[in-house]
Amino acid sequence: MKKAYKINLFSALASVLVIFLLASCVDELENNQIIKDGTLSLSTSDSVLVLQEQFASNKLTFNWTPANNNGTGSSIDYLLEVDMQGNDFSSPLVYDMGKNTFAFSYEHGTLNNILRSTFGAQPGSPIVLVARITATLADGNGEPQIDTTSVVVTPFEPVSSKLYLVGDATPNSWDIANATALTPSSSEAGVFTYQGALSPGNFKFAVSQEGCWCQDFYTKDPADSTVLVYNEGGSGDDLQWRITNGGQYKIVVNLIALTFSIKAVEAPTFSALWIVGDATPSGWNIDSPEEMTQSASNPFIFTYEAHLTPGEFKIFAGPLGDWCGEWFRPLEQHQDITSNLVEQNSGCDVDNTWQITSEMEGRYKVSLNTLENTISINPVTLYIIGDGGPNGWNIGNPEPMTYSDGVFTFNGPLGADNATGEFKFSKFAGDWCGGEWINAATGNQSLTNTEYILTQGCDGPDNKWKLASGDVGNYEITFDLDAGVMTIERQ
C-alpha cells in the first residue's frame, strides 16, 4: 500500500532553505574557501526500511554534512564504509567518495542483493547495517573526523526471473524440459506475458525447465482464479487453470502482486501463406511453393521478396496440393499492382491473378495484411548512403544502384568527399526509419569484409563499412540478395 504524505508551506520553505544552504556549502568547498566550524554528521533517508521488489528502484541514501578543515583551507576527502552490526567494520563495503560529495545511495534492488549475498541476510528477517563516514584533510594535518549511523533493513525473496507454461493445454503439453517460456516485461519486475495457442486442457506455471516436479510452481487460488498461489517445492494444492475452448490467448502474470489474467485474442485464419505462379521462382508448384514470412510482431502480416519474371502469380493459403483450396487473389484479372485491393476466396471458379510484364520484371516485396485484406506490391531498390559514398547522407533523394538479372550493382567513387567516411545501404528513401537497411555485420567494418545483416527502421545495430587510409578510389559493389552474397572490388 502506498503512503500519502502532506507537506505544509512552512515545511516546504524550510526544505528549500536547507537545500540552498547545502548547495552553498558545496560551492564554498569547490571555491576552496575556509570551513572553520563544520561538524561531520552522518544520517540516512530511512531509519527502518522493509524492502519490496515492486519498489526496487527506490533508494536508501546516506547523507553527511561537510567536515571541519580547521581554517586551513585544505580540501577534505570522504570515505564511506558499510557493514553489518557486530562486525566492527572488520570487512566492510568501502566507497571512496573523494571531495565535495555529501551523499551516497543504494537502489532497493541492489541493496537487497548486497544484504543476501554479502551479509547472508534472510528474506523477511531484519538486519542492522552500520555506516561510517571518515573525513581526512588532504594536507595530512589533523586527526580524521568520524561519524556513524545505522539503519534496520528487511530484505525480500526475489521472484523468479523466468516463467514457463506447462500442461496439456500448452504447446508442449507436460514435457517440462520443453515447457513454453513466457516473455518477461522489460519495464516492470515480476511481470510475464504469453500470447499464442492453447488447447482444451489444463496448465500451471513452472519457474524452470528442470525435470523434477518438486520444483516451485505457481498454481490457482481455490477461491479466486485471478490470484496466483506460490507452490514452493511442489507442495500444497496443485490447482490448475483450464482451457475449455482451444484458440489464441493472451496471459499476463504478475509474480509480485500474485495476479493472473487471461483473454481470448483474435488470431489469423491462416498460419502460413505461399506465392504460386510462373512469375515466381517456384512456378506453378502447388505441392511445395515459395513460403511467405509471417511477421513476429503482427501475425496477420505476411511478406515475400524475390525477383519476379514475366508471368502471373497469386497467394495460396492451403492445403498444399489442392488447386481449389484457399487463396488470396486480386479483385479482377491482371489487376494493377499499385492497387491495394485483395480478396480471400476458395475454389476454382474465380481465378484472378496479378501479372508481371516484361517491362515490369524486377525484384519486388509483396506484403499482405490478412486482417484488413490489403496488399502492397512494390519494387525493391537499393541505395548507398553515407559520407563515404557519392550520395552522402542524403536519404531523401539518393541515387539508386542499378539492377539486372537479380543483382544490384554500384560503380563509382568511395571516399572522394571524405577519405575516412562510412556507408551502409537502404531499400528505401525519404525517412531514416522508413524501411529495411543493409548494415555491416560489425561496427566500422573494413571494405575487405562483405558480411552483412538486415535491420528494420531505426532498430539497429547501425553498423557501417568504414574507409581506412588508402581506400579512396573507384569500386564495384554488388548484391545478390537471393544468394545472400555481397562483393566489393576496387576498379
What gap in Å lies between CA 23 and CA 4, rounded to an integer? 28
CA distance 171 to 335: 41
Asked whether 49 and 129 are in contact (CB, 8 A), the reply is no
Q: Residue 75 maps to which CATH number?
A: 2.60.40.10
Q: Which residues of 283-303 are buried (b: 16+ CB within 10 A; e: fewer)?
A: eeebeebbebebeeeebbbbe
- Predicted confidence at residue 232, as pLDDT, reads 81
* Residues 437, 360 within the same domain: no
**Which residues of 330-467 form beta strands (DSSP E)?**
343-346, 354-356, 362-369, 374-379, 383-385, 402-404, 407-414, 422-426, 436-440, 452-456, 465-466
Task: Give the pLDDT band (50/70/90) at residue 299.
Answer: confident
Q: Is residue 11 situated within a structural domain?
A: no
Residues 25 and 146 in one domain: yes
Pairing of strands 422-426, 465-466: antiparallel
- Assess whether pLDDT exceeds 50 at residue 13: no
pLDDT beyond 70 at 301: yes
Burial of 11 (0-12, 13-18, 19+ CB in 10 A): exposed
Q: How far apart are CA 133 and CA 88, in angstroms?
A: 14
Residue 348 lies in a domain: yes
What is the average per-residue pLDDT within 293-309?
91
Residues 300 and 422 reside in one and the same domain = no
pTM summary value: 0.50
Q: Which residues contact 423 (CB under 8 A, 6 or more apart)?
A: 384, 385, 386, 387, 388, 389, 414, 464, 465
Q: What is the pLDDT of residues 170-216, one digit of tens each?
A: 988 999 999 999 988 877 889 999 988 888 999 999 999 987 788 88
What pLDDT shows up at residue 231? 86
Q: 297 with 206, same domain?
A: no
Number of domain units in the chain: 4
Query: Which of 199, 229, 264 is at the close of a domain?
Result: 264
With vertex at residue 364, the alpha carbon angle to CA 361 and CA 366, rounded to the nearest 5 degrees, is 135
Q: Are residues 193 and 223 in the same domain?
A: yes
**236 — pLDDT class (breaks 50, 70, 90):** low
The count of residues in the chain is 491
Are 211 and 287 contained in the same domain?
A: no
Q: Is the pLDDT of residue 25 over 50?
A: no
Q: How far is CA 55 from CA 51, 60, 119, 190, 256, in A?
A: 8, 11, 21, 11, 11
| Residues 119-157: tens digit of each pLDDT | 999 999 999 999 999 999 998 888 999 999 999 999 998
- Domain limit, last residue, from 332, 355, 379: 379
Q: Say yes or no: 219 and 143 in one domain.
A: no
Is the pLDDT at 463 greater than 60? The verdict is yes
- Whether residues 41 and 112 share a domain: the answer is yes
**Looking at residues 9-23, what average pLDDT do you find?**
36
Could you identify the residue written with the cell 548486497? 114
What confidence score (pLDDT) does residue 428 get? 92
Q: Is residue 2 part of a domain?
A: no
Q: What 3-state DSSP class applies to 456?
A: strand
Last residue of a domain, which of 379, 410, 441? Answer: 379
Pair 281, 364 in one domain: yes
Q: Is residue 188 part of a domain?
A: yes
Tell whether 192 is covered by a domain: yes
Residue 195 within any structural domain of the chain: yes
Give CA angle at 312 (375, 383), nearest 5°. Answer: 60
Handedness of CA 215, 220, 222, 223 (dihedral sign): positive
Q: Does residue 356 sit in the same domain as residue 406? A: no
Does residue 248 or residue 78 have the better pLDDT? 78
Looking at residues 286-301, what average pLDDT do you find? 90
Q: What is the pLDDT of residues 416-460, one digit of tens each?
A: 989 999 999 999 998 888 889 999 999 999 999 999 999 988 887
Cβ atoms within 10 Å of 220's Cβ, excluding its own: 23
Torsion angle of the four alpha carbons 292, 294, 300, 306, in this order, in degrees rounded to the nearest 10: -40
Quickly state the pLDDT bin for 371 (edges 50, 70, 90): confident
Using alpha carbons, select from 443, 438, 376, 433 the residue that is nearest to residue 401. Answer: 438
Rounded mean pLDDT, 24-35:
39
Asked whether the predicted pLDDT for residue 20 surpasses 60, the reply is no
If asked whether residues 30 and 144 sit together in one domain, one would say: yes
Mean pLDDT, rounded, of the chain: 88
Other Cβ atoms within 10 Å of 324 Cβ, number: 10
Residue 33: the pLDDT is 39
| Model confidence pLDDT, tens digit, residues 69-122 | 888 889 999 999 999 999 999 999 999 999 999 999 999 989 999 999 999 999
Q: Please indicate, yes or no, whether residues 235 and 353 belong to a single structural domain of this protein.
A: no
Residue 203 to residue 183: CA distance in whole angstroms = 17
Those residues with Cβ within 8 angstroms of residue 461's Cβ, 6 or more apart along the chain or in another chain: 439, 443, 453, 455
Evaluate if residue 352 carries a pLDDT over 80. yes
Percent of the chain with pLDDT over 90: 70
159 within domain boundaries: no
Q: Can you give the residue range of the structural domain that contains 252?
A: 164-264
| CATH code for position 171 | 2.60.40.3620
Q: Which residue has the cell 575516412?
A: 420
Domain for residue 117, yes or no? yes
